[in-house]
Every structure is written in C-alpha cells, then in structure tokens.
Chain A
Amino acid sequence: MSLADKLAGKKVLVTGVTGFVGEALLHRMIGELPDTTVVAIIRPKGSLTGTARMAQMLKKDIFKPFYGEGTPYADADALTAARVEVVEGDLSDVPALPRDLDIVVHCAGDVSFDPPIHEAFTTNVLGTKSLLERIVETERPVHYVHISTAYTAGRRRGAIPEAPVDHNVDWRTEAEAGMAMKARIEEASRSAAMLTKFRKESEKLHRRAGHLTAAADTERRRTEWVAKKLVETGTERARSLGWTDCYTFTKALGERVVEEFAAKLPTSIVRPAIIESAVQSPHPGWIEGFKMAEPLILAYGRGELPEFPASPDSVVEIIPVDHVVGAICAVMATEPELNKPEYYHVSSGARNPLTFEQLYAGVRAYFSKHPFDLGERGAVRLPVWKFPGGDSVESMLRYGEKAHKIADQIITHVPRSERTRKYARELDVQKRRLDFLRRYMDLYAEYAQAELQFIDDNVLALHNALEGDDREKFWCDTSIVDWQHYLQEVHCPSVTDSLRRLDVVRKKRNKALAESAGVLKKVTPSDDAEIIAAFDMDGTLLSSNVIETYLWMRLPELDSHQRVGEIGAMLRKLPKLISAERKDRGTFLRTIYRRYEGADLEELNRIVDEVLAEHVLERLSGAAVRRIREHKAAGHRTILITGAVRPLTRPLEPLFDEIVAAELAVDDRGRCTGFLTGPPLVGESRAAWIKHRARGTNIDLSKSYAYADSHSDLPMLTTVGNPVAVSPDVSLFRAARAARWQIVDWKTPATSSRLEIPGVNAR
C-alpha cells in the first residue's frame, strides 16, 4: 500500500507551516498525498490574517505547478479551499483544534541557537505542552509527530541511539526558573549600580552631545544588556547540564514533555540533524532563508573567514530538507503504540558521513570555480584553513579583538582628518568581521567539534518499507547523496545566487555612491514652506577653535610681555581644557570665556573688524561659502549657530540671515564680566533652539539643512531632514555613515597659516 493510500482521507495538522520544513512538507503533501487534508495553524501577522498568509504562501513559485492549466484547481485560492484548512492562532496561546484530526505534525519551534532563555522555554517546552493539551482535548487517538533535533543529545559523544535522551533534568523546574529569568534580569538591569555603569559608559561618548542623547544611549545599552544576559543565561544553563546551547537544551526538555503525553497519544519523535537545501524536491537547491551553514559559506566565499575552530575529522550532520520531509511523511503513516514513542534520526553521519574537511574542500572548490565578483579588484583570495584547533582560533580572535579595541581608542582620540576617517572606516569593517566571527564561532564551535554519530536504523527501515514509486517520492535514505556534487552543484550555487544578484546591484550603487561622494546635491527653493540652513562655525566653516580665536582677540590688545604670559597660561591649561572639552563643551566654553573678564567689548568689536576679519575670511572654506550662498540664492533662511562669542561672527554677518552666538555680558562701563548673558548654545540646546525657532512658523524642518563637524552637534543634525556632516570627527563620522547622511570635506585654504597671530606677527 502506498503512503498516499495509507494517508488518504486523513486530516493532518501542521504547525510552523510557514517555516522552512513546514513549507516543504506542505508542498509534498499537496503534491504527493492527494487525498490528505492539511490543517495549518497560522498566526495573523500585521493586517494579514492566517488565511491570507496561507494564500500568499501558495503563490510562491514552488506551489505554482499545483494550480492553473492542466490541474483541478483554477488558482491558488481554489487550491487552498480544496486542500488546506487554516486555523487562525498562535502557539503561545494555542487555539481550540478541529475535532476531526488524525495526525499532528509539530514543526514549529525557535530555530535560533541562541534565543533568550524565556523565549526558548516558551516555544520549545511550554508551547509544545499547550499544543499537546489541546490535542488531548479533541479526545481522538491523534498520531502526534514531534519534530525535534538530533542534537538533543547535547554534548554526549559516540553513537546516539534512536531512543529517549538519557538525563534526569526536571523540565518543570527548569521551565519555571527559565521563565523567571526575564523578570530577574530586567530587575537587575535597573539597579542603581548597573544604571550608573550604563550611564557612565554612554556619557563617555555622548556627554558632549547632551544629557538626552546620553540618556537615550543609556537606555539602549540597558536593553541590549538585558537581551545579552538572557541569551547568556540560557547558554550557560544549558552547558551546566551538558547541552551545547539553549536551543538543544529546551528541545530535549520538549521531548520530555512529549514523552509524558505518550501515554495518551500515539507518538513519534523525528530528530533531523542540520537541515540544508533540497536535493530533488521541490527543486534541487531549494532553500528558504539562511540556515546554519550559509552565513559561514558566504563569509568564506568573501574571504572573511580566515579560520574556523573545527576538527577536520568531525562529522557534519547535514541532511537535505526533502529527505527530512520524506521521513516525516513516512512517519505519519506509521501507527506507534501508546506509551511507546518511536524515535527517528534523520541524519547522514552513520552511513554517509561528510567530514568537516570534506565540507571545507567542497565549498572551497566551489568558490575556486565560481568566485564572488566583489568589485574592481578581481576574485577574492580564499583563505586556506589549517584547522589549528579551537583554542588557537580562539586566541587569534581574541588577539584581533584586542588590537581592534586599542586601534579604536587611538582613532577616536587623534585629531580628525580625512585620513583618520579612512582608518575609522577600515576599523569598522574589521569590527564587523570580528563580530561576525565571534558570533559564529561561539555558536557553532560546539557543532564543528562534535564527535557524535546518530544511528538512523529506524529511518532506514522506514525507507526500505516504502513500496513502489514511493521510494522516489519519499526517499529518506541519505546514503545516496553524493556530498561533493551536492555541495558544489546544488547547495552552494543556490545559497550564493541571491547574494550574487545583490552584489550586482550593490556594485552599481557603490559606483554611483563613489561618484557622488562628497558632492552635495543642489538645493532647490521651496514654494510652500520656509527652509532653514543652519551652520556651525568652528571646524565647519573655518578651521579654528575657541582657544585659538580667544588668543586672536586678546593678543592684539596686550603688549609683548603680556602676550607671552597669556600664551603660556593657555598652554599650561591646555590638557585640562582638552579633557573638559571632551566631557562637556558648555563648561569648556565657560572656562575660556571667563578669561574675557575686563576686556572692552567695543574694543573687541573693533579688533575683529580691523584685524581679525581678514584672518577669519582667509580661513573660510570656499566650498562652505558657496554652499551658504547657494542656500541664500534658493531663498532659504541661513542661520549661523555657534558657541563662539558674538564679535567673532561679525565678518560673516552678510552671509547669514540670523546669527546665534555667545553673548558676552558687560558691566556698566562696557567691560566684559567674563560671564555670558545666557548659556552657550551647544549640543542639545542647538536642537532645542532650532525646534523652537520653527514652532509656529512656516519653517519645514524635514526639508531643512544643517551642517556641522562634531559629535556634539548630533542632536542639531538629527532635527533636520537634510543633515550634512562636514569634515566630521570619528564619532560623528560613524553616526553619519550609519544614518546615511551626506559627508563632505570642506577644506580650509592651505594658504592660511596656523602660526600667524593677527595683529602680532601677521602682515
């Protein structure tokens, strides 16, 4: 009797039908089991109902042969109506099930290896339990087919039989403890000590930008920490009990739940190993999304995986998805007894092992023949793996991480320049690769060094029991797979295909980006709203800084003796000032401006007009002036927002419609008191000022522009729709790149000299 006959008239509930295995199973059941009805539990997503999602899924290419001309079904909807019954619902809260089910296949599960501990328990243990309870409610002898994983064996070694995993961990205690972790870690993250730590870390980076920016980053750090801790806790708990990670641990506990219910329901447990693309059905190489090996294969092909902590002789238990589906179908047709759950290892290692070294050789051979074309530099150089063992790869990585950290420290502290930005960018690429390596090594090292062998006698028996052409339709004997052919002709081409297409697009985009890099788009006038263009001064429009301009303003007034004294005093204070500047620009400015005490404001204005103007103008970047004037010509409102003192902005007055600068407070004789009339406009105050300026007017900030050079200007830049980072420091450079803002380099003319002090030694 064929499987189709055995399963004819049966109603099969499939969970996780939208997943990789679920989809392949649905495809096989529609195609090869014509008289079997599929019931799918689908969670509504956004505005889509479960039914709509199913219809959407059936429009995928692999389902197209099932409807239309030459088939009994006119379209996807007709096919759905005839073959699939949709139950709207979610496994976190299993809905009541139809009362006429014959078989339940539970494919749904969290497939990530490092889920937060509470999520792993929710899906893999508690979710399974509620599903089983709902099945029991139907009061029918439903055949429950549980899809688990071969790696529930955890860190055990040697031959693993198709039998319950040998352990005595109580799943109830573990589930309770695991679920409680969420609240506990959340609570811990809110303790004063932790919050202080987060705040200090983020203030180091963002204090200059302002308290709110720092606060936002603090909160981000906290949630990130919680997520990381939840994952860590899961992994550590799993390892403390002999499992590789939280995934296999909770899957093993899930099996325990299933085993408990085996008294009420005939039960089969299918344990596939590492499921990869199809050999035959739906079509060779079919794969949905990226599974375990793909990121590594792709990274290797890109030359970014210099080594891997694998044992060359350890067996990689890869299994094509169609073999898994074939086995599941065959299992569905079996009739296990109550209290005697049957176990099935769908794996390859026992009879057709693929060692890590062979896998590496296959992938390498594939990429040698079909390298990635990543740009103008020809084919990528493929790393040669020596398999030095886990420890030495680990220390390589640790060394790399340390070196990166030091380099990053340096790069964020050296003066900015085009070169530092280039290094910063290279470091970021390095960082991305290191993070990738770190993540995958931590995740997969265990699997790549596993020394276990899954016995698959039960599956082989199923395969051998298949009759007639069922052997073709539901093949589940992996010994026939030619691994090198599979890797080089089926799997790798399929997984690299999308990336290759993406590379073509990316190449074009990068070329366009490279051509337009540093070139600002022309500004256009706006009819319906007023547009502002806000410019920072120091570092953006001209190369100068507050200390320097202070000296420019004060020195001409002093005689040569006093000048030496003043410069000396500034030099002595420099280290203190620099560290103040890194922490809080407002304090820094106040410290400098204190020194204006006693200066005659009128005299300062005169010095600027007569002596300093030419120095300010000489240092103006031509490109900056052109841009300001372009905005003016387009009818935009140009605003200079600076922490510099008002007199210094005098030479630039004709360029701007509005100038916001630090106002020196004066006494009744017109002498500066050394204080400002209000707080200096830095960091978040600038953003607040702009927002306030726009409120109640016709100003459209989303179409407006802002130009600034420093990380402290981040809030200002974020308030407008067209932010531009001008010769940015490394922190702003990174933020700008992440947000895809325009970055330009406005150079101060090389003709101006730093050492010339106006009115002192300059002509």
Chain B
Amino acid sequence: MSRPGFVLEVDDRTPPLLVHNGEGFKLERFPLGTRVIYPPESLPAVRDVEEAIQNALLNPLESEPLPELLYAGMRLTIAFDDISIPLPPMQKPDIRQRIIEAVLTMAADAGVDDVELISANALHRRLTPNELRDIVGERVFRSFYPDGKLYNFDAEDRDNLSHLGQTRHGEDVEISKRAAESDLLVYVNVNLVAMDGGHKSTSIGLASYKSLKHHHNSHTMIHSRSFMDHKASKMHESAWRMGEVLTQHVKVFQIETSLNNDIFGGPLQFLQKREWEWSIKDQASFLATKRALDIAPAKLRHKIFTETKSHYGLTGINAGKIEPVHDKTLEMVHRQHLVEVQGQSDVAIMGVPFVGPYNVNSVMNPILAACMGLGYYFNSYRGNPVVRKDGAVILYHPVDYEFSQLHHPSYVDFFEEVLSESTDPATIEAKFEKQYAEDPWYIHLYRTSNAYHGVHPFYMWYWISHALDHCGDIVWVGANRKTVERMGFRSASTLQDALEMVSHSVGRSPSITYLHNPPHLLADVR
C-alpha cells in the first residue's frame, strides 16, 4: 500500500531538498519551519490493463455497453487527447493505443467501416506522424494514417467545422464537423491531473477559436479558482455548459483513464523518493546525474530530458456518460494527488521542471515556464491557494531566452512585441489578441506546419492571470534577468536573496510552503 501525501515541516535534521529547475535539479536547504508538501506515493496500478479496458467498455456508467452502440454503416469517430498529456510522455504502449485498439476491435466486430481518428489538439500544434504513431501505436497508425483517416484536428478549416448552437450564456459551440456529424463519438482521455477530462475533452479539444474564446479569456481565467477544481472554475463551468449543448447533438461515449505517480524510473527514481530516505545508490545517482547535467552541453541536456519517458501505471478506467465517468475519474485522481494542507502561507515556492503541456519535444520558452509555474503549479490547489492573498511566489527555472521557431512562432513575437508593451492580461487581450488570432501567417503555420496557433501565447498569459492577480511578489531564482523582467517579474540569484526581496511585503520571517512536485500533487488547502 502506498503512503499518503503529507506536509513536512523543515527542522534541523531535514536534509537539503530536491527542487526541479528546468533541465536540471537543485538541492536546496529551506529555512526552518518551511512546510514541504509531498504528493502521495504512487498508487498501485491495475494489474490487468486489457481486462480493465474490456470491463469499462462492456460495463459503462449510465450508458449501453459499447458493442451495443456500434452497428454497420455508422459513422464512428474516435477522438483522443493529444501529446500535451501525460507529462512526461508515456512509455509505449500508450494507454490510448490500448483503448483505441479495443474500441476498433469491437467496431470491426460490429462491421463498422467508416471510422476516423482525430487528435483533439484544438489550437495546439499538429502532431508529427511520429508523434501520432507514438500515441495510437504502429498498427492503428498504418491502417489509418496513409488514408487520411487518422489526423490532427484543424480548428481553422472552416469547411470542416460545425456550429452546434449557443449555450444559455450565449457561448458558441463550434466543433469538428466530422465529430459533430458522427453517429458516435468515442473520446479517449488521459486524466493526468484534475483539470483534464469531463466536458473539457470534447468541447475544448475539438473546438475552434470562435468557441474557445468564450472561456479562454482573461476574465474567465482570473475567476477560475482553481483549474484543478472544475466546480470552482469558471472555465470549466463554461465548458460544461457547452458540453450540454454538444451532447444534445452528438452521442459521446467518454473513456477516461487515471494514472499513478510513477513518473521517474530507472536511475532517476530518486526524483520521486523522499530525500531522507535516499539510499546510497539514490544519492550516487543524484550526484552523477547532477554532475553530468552540469557539464553536458545545453543541446545534449535538452536531448536527455526530451527523451525521458514515464512508466505510469493505470489506476482506473471508466467509460460511458461524461459526468458520472468524470466523477469516478476525479475520485481516483484525487486519491493520487490530494494532500491536505492546513492554512495558507505567506510564501509559496515551486520548482518548474523541464516539461509542460506545450513543450513536449520542444523547448520550454519563458512564457511556457511562467505558465507552468504560475498557471499549473500555482493552480494545483483546491479550496484556497497555497499562498495567501498578496503573498509571494518564488519559482525556480533558468527562463532562458529560447524559443522554438517551429513550434512557437507566435510566442517569440508575443514576447517581443506584446510583453514589451504590457504584461496585464486584460490589456493584452483587448489590444492584441484579435490581431494574433487572425494573423494569416500564424494560421498558415498552425495548419500546415507544427506551430501552436497564433493566439495560444495569449492563453498562456490568461492562464497565469489568477496568480498575477493574487500574488504580491513573484521572484524567480537563478533566472535570466532580462527575460524575467520582460514578463514583469524579478530575478534573484539564491533563495535567500529571493526571500530578502519579498521581505518588504511578507516580513522577515514569513511562513513558507514548498510544493514538492513533480510527481503531481493537489493541495487541499483548508
């Protein structure tokens, strides 16, 4: 049985603790009294995955078993989560591959021959053929990709979008035409964190800019407290409303999976152990890894991290109607991630790791680093933020001036042209969003190359608006001063300096909480 997550209070016997710092790690000695939140240890995985899949498909929640929904001559569409989850990517075989194979087998048995597979990437970049292959597996890829039956969703292909109507709040619901006109839409999800899944899958993953802008905007985002709690998130509320409209038009068979926290294996296993329990071997691995990373050239270091793949054990799979399926999924996700924390603190500390949802096989540029820290980690709470209102957040990441011109062409322009004028999400939204969203060059790159949509960096910035609004001070440790300054933050050389810098607002002896993730955690702040 795995141990639950807990909150450590740093005392004089606590060893230096591990902090993620981009493509590298640090051992940091935290001030006495610092609370350190450890996620629960990895839950035991389902022993027979095939059996669990079969069981879920044959005994769905509030729905007929899948085989009963399949018939010859029908239009079947299988949509699946794209490369942005799980993080780091999963070792082969991907859980989505296993599920899709099972679904396809049942479809074949029922004589369904009009099947299309769509990567639900919304405004994310198109996946390369190799990346698609990694998710769906060789067999499915070979059978569907060459005929154009396995493809990326194109949110700018006006001819292949379908407007399903508006929600009671007047929000447009516009999704993939193929999905909308299918007799059955099977959505294959990976629920890495509590934010994913539910109505977010289809009504966001297969939606166009016209539809997305109703919830991906600075106003909604600032009131999503937090993204990890769909009942307290304005964004999710909007997605749920859209889901209602969507399910009136389309029959959706939702398959959700939850994974355990078994992220780092092999020599990197020490990354998910508690530091005082590190064996001699773990300590040696840490030292060796750290030394090697320190002397490795940046490109090699990048390659090492990019190629990191995680084991992940399946902790649960549920299928059927969206809402009950998602409730079950969240239950499992919470069991894996939730840690009870008593009260907020003056300062929250987070180490931003090497990968986020939008830089798989790419580089984490400054905007993505900010989004990872202040969007995802800051929002990893239920109830109240870990840090009190007007408190300080201290982040670790080098924040180098590094952009992938292939994947993030609009990001670099956003960084140079937009952030140099303003860092206020609402101002940015009013002044620049439309221009970037409708820019023909970005649209061209989004549709034909592997670029995130022109508007995507804006979403990253809205994503952090809650943190910007909530926090008094944001300081990065060991970051590139220029890039951090451009984003409106400050940089400190050490944790001590960072604490010194924020002392004017939180005092000389603030209460501090360090979120010891990844592995993922969700702080349930009472």
**A interface residues with partner B (beta carbon < 8 Å):** 613-614, 617-623, 625-626, 629, 651, 654-655, 748-753, 763
Answer whether A750 and B402 are a contact pair too, CB < 8 Å, given A613-B449, A626-B413, A763-B130. Answer: yes
Asked if B417 and A626 sit within 8 Å, CB to CB, the answer is yes
In Å, the complex CA distance between A561 and B412 comes to 40
In Å, the complex CA distance between A641 and B298 comes to 34
Q: Which residues of A contact B299 (CB under 8 A)?
A: 750, 753
Q: Which residues of A contact B362 (CB under 8 A)?
A: 751
Within 8 Å of chain A (Cβ to Cβ): is B416?
yes
Q: Which residues of A contact B440 (CB under 8 A)?
A: 654
Q: Which residues of A contact B406 (CB under 8 A)?
A: 614, 617-618, 752
Asked if B405 and A749 sit within 8 Å, CB to CB, the answer is yes
Nearest-CB residue, chain B, relative to A654: B444
In Å, the complex CA distance between A625 and B411 comes to 13
Asked if A617 and B361 sit within 8 Å, CB to CB, the answer is no
In Å, the complex CA distance between A753 and B361 comes to 13
Interface centre among A619, A623, A751 (most CB of B within 10 A): A751
Within 8 Å of chain A (Cβ to Cβ): is B409?
yes
Q: Which residues of B contact A626 (CB under 8 A)?
A: 413, 416-417
Nearest-CB residue, chain B, relative to A620: B405
Q: Which residues of B contact A751 (CB under 8 A)?
A: 302, 362-363, 402-405
In Å, the complex CA distance between A623 and B403 comes to 12
In Å, the complex CA distance between A750 and B398 comes to 15
Nearest-CB residue, chain B, relative to A763: B130
Within 8 Å of chain A (Cβ to Cβ): is B445?
yes
In Å, the complex CA distance between A622 and B412 comes to 7
Answer whether A614 and B412 are a contact pair too, CB < 8 Å, given A749-B403, A750-B402, A763-B361. Answer: no
Question: Nearest Cβ in chain B — how far from A509, in angstroms?
Answer: 25
Within 8 Å of chain A (Cβ to Cβ): is B496?
no
Q: Which residues of B contact A750 (CB under 8 A)?
A: 298-299, 402
Interface residues of B in 432-474 (CB under 8 A from A): 440-441, 444-445, 448-451
Within 8 Å of chain A (Cβ to Cβ): is B55?
no
In Å, the complex CA distance between A621 and B403 comes to 10
Q: Which residues of A contact B403 (CB under 8 A)?
A: 622, 749, 751
Interface residues of B in 383-407 (CB under 8 A from A): 402-406
Question: Nearest Cβ in chain B — how far from A630, in angstroms?
Answer: 9
How many of chain B's residues touch chain A, expressed as a range? 20 to 34
Answer whether A618 and B413 are a contact pair too, CB < 8 Å, given A613-B448, A655-B441, A753-B299. Answer: no
Within 8 Å of chain A (Cβ to Cβ): is B128?
yes
Question: Nearest Cβ in chain B — how far from A188, in angstroms?
Answer: 57
Asked if A617 and B417 sit within 8 Å, CB to CB, the answer is no
Nearest-CB residue, chain A, relative to B413: A626
Q: Which residues of B contact A617 (CB under 8 A)?
A: 405-406, 409, 445, 449, 451
Which residue from B405, B441, B445, B449 sits with its C-beta under 8 Å from A622?
B405
In Å, the complex CA distance between A618 and B451 comes to 10
Asked if A622 and B409 sit within 8 Å, CB to CB, the answer is yes
Question: Nearest Cβ in chain B — how far from A739, in angstroms?
Answer: 28
In Å, the complex CA distance between A614 and B406 comes to 6
What is the interface of chain A mostly: helix, strand, loop, or mixed?
Answer: helix
Interface centre among B298, B404, B416 (most CB of A within 10 A): B404
In Å, the complex CA distance between A655 and B441 comes to 7
Question: Nearest Cβ in chain B — how far from A541, in angstroms?
Answer: 11
Nearest-CB residue, chain A, relative to B406: A618
When A and B form their complex, which 3 residue pairs have the shortest distance between CB atoms, in order from nearest? Answer: A618-B406, A622-B412, A654-B444
In Å, the complex CA distance between A629 and B413 comes to 11
In Å, the complex CA distance between A622 and B366 comes to 15
In Å, the complex CA distance between A752 and B302 comes to 11
Asked if B402 and A622 sit within 8 Å, CB to CB, the answer is no
Asked if B449 and A619 sit within 8 Å, CB to CB, the answer is no
In Å, the complex CA distance between A625 and B406 comes to 12
Q: Which residues of B contact A752 (CB under 8 A)?
A: 405-406
Interface residues of B in 302-331 (CB under 8 A from A): 302
Interface centre among A613, A618, A619, A752 (most CB of B within 10 A): A618
Nearest-CB residue, chain B, relative to A630: B417
Which residue from A651, A749, A763 sits with its C-beta under 8 Å from B449?
A651
Asked if A654 and B128 sit within 8 Å, CB to CB, the answer is no
Q: Which residues of B contact A619 (CB under 8 A)?
A: 405
Question: Nearest Cβ in chain A — how far from B44, in angstroms?
Answer: 34
Asked if A749 and B441 sit within 8 Å, CB to CB, the answer is no
Question: Nearest Cβ in chain A — how far from B445, in angstroms?
Answer: 7
Interface residues of B in 17-76 (CB under 8 A from A): none
Question: Nearest Cβ in chain B — how far from A303, in angstroms?
Answer: 34
Could you name 22 residue pairs across A and B whose Cβ atoms are closer than 8 Å? A613-B449, A614-B449, A617-B449, A619-B405, A620-B405, A621-B405, A622-B409, A622-B412, A622-B413, A625-B409, A626-B413, A626-B416, A651-B449, A654-B441, A654-B444, A748-B405, A749-B404, A750-B298, A751-B402, A751-B404, A753-B299, A763-B361
Asked if B441 and A618 sit within 8 Å, CB to CB, the answer is no
Question: Nearest Cβ in chain A — how far from B23, in angstroms?
Answer: 12
Answer whether A618 and B405 are a contact pair too, CB < 8 Å, given A626-B413, A626-B417, A763-B128. Answer: yes
Question: Nearest Cβ in chain A — how far from B417, in angstroms?
Answer: 7
Question: Nearest Cβ in chain A — how far from B148, in angstroms?
Answer: 14
In Å, the complex CA distance between A566 and B88 comes to 37
**Contacts A617-B449, A622-B416, A751-B402 supplied; 19 other A-B pairs, CB < 8 Å:** A613-B448, A614-B406, A614-B449, A614-B450, A617-B406, A617-B409, A618-B405, A620-B405, A622-B405, A622-B409, A623-B416, A625-B405, A626-B416, A651-B449, A748-B405, A750-B298, A750-B402, A751-B403, A751-B405
In Å, the complex CA distance between A615 and B320 comes to 42
In Å, the complex CA distance between A619 and B302 comes to 17
Q: Which residues of A contact B128 (CB under 8 A)?
A: 614, 763
In Å, the complex CA distance between A752 and B417 comes to 23
Interface residues of B in 410-434 (CB under 8 A from A): 412-413, 416-417
Interface centre among A622, A626, A629 (most CB of B within 10 A): A622
Answer whether A618 and B404 are a contact pair too, CB < 8 Å, given A625-B409, A654-B440. Answer: yes
Nearest-CB residue, chain B, relative to A613: B449
Question: Nearest Cβ in chain A — how far from B431, in angstroms?
Answer: 15
In Å, the complex CA distance between A613 and B403 comes to 18
Asked if B409 and A629 sit within 8 Å, CB to CB, the answer is no
Q: Which residues of B contact A623 (CB under 8 A)?
A: 416
Question: Nearest Cβ in chain A — how far from B1, in angstroms?
Answer: 40
Question: Nearest Cβ in chain B — how far from A538, in angstroms?
Answer: 16
Q: Which residues of B contact A620 (CB under 8 A)?
A: 405, 409
In Å, the complex CA distance between A390 and B405 comes to 60
In Å, the complex CA distance between A660 and B412 comes to 28
Q: Which residues of A contact B363 (CB under 8 A)?
A: 751
In Å, the complex CA distance between A655 and B448 comes to 14
Question: Nearest Cβ in chain B — how far from A521, in angstroms?
Answer: 15
Q: Which residues of A contact B298 (CB under 8 A)?
A: 750
Nearest-CB residue, chain A, relative to B404: A751
Nearest-CB residue, chain A, relative to B407: A618
In Å, the complex CA distance between A121 and B478 comes to 73
Q: Which residues of B contact A613 (CB under 8 A)?
A: 448-449
Q: How would residues 272 to 288 of chain B score, 1 for a CB under 8 Å from any chain A CB and 0 otherwise? A: 00000000000000000
Which residue from A629, A753, A763 sits with its C-beta under 8 Å from B441?
A629
Interface centre among A613, A617, A626 (most CB of B within 10 A): A617
Q: Which residues of A contact B413 (CB under 8 A)?
A: 622, 625-626
Q: Which residues of A contact B405 (CB under 8 A)?
A: 617-622, 625, 748-749, 751-752
In Å, the complex CA distance between A763 and B404 comes to 14
Question: Nearest Cβ in chain A — how far from B309, in angstroms?
Answer: 14
In Å, the complex CA distance between A748 and B416 comes to 16
Q: Which residues of B contact A763 (CB under 8 A)?
A: 128, 130, 361
Question: Nearest Cβ in chain B — how far from A632, in angstroms?
Answer: 8
Question: Nearest Cβ in chain A — how far from B346, in angstroms?
Answer: 37
Question: Nearest Cβ in chain B — how far from A7, in angstroms?
Answer: 75
Nearest-CB residue, chain B, relative to A748: B405
Question: Nearest Cβ in chain A — how far from B24, in angstroms?
Answer: 17
Q: Which residues of A contact B361 (CB under 8 A)?
A: 763
Nearest-CB residue, chain B, relative to A754: B299
In Å, the complex CA distance between A111 and B211 comes to 83
Q: Which residues of B contact A651 (CB under 8 A)?
A: 449
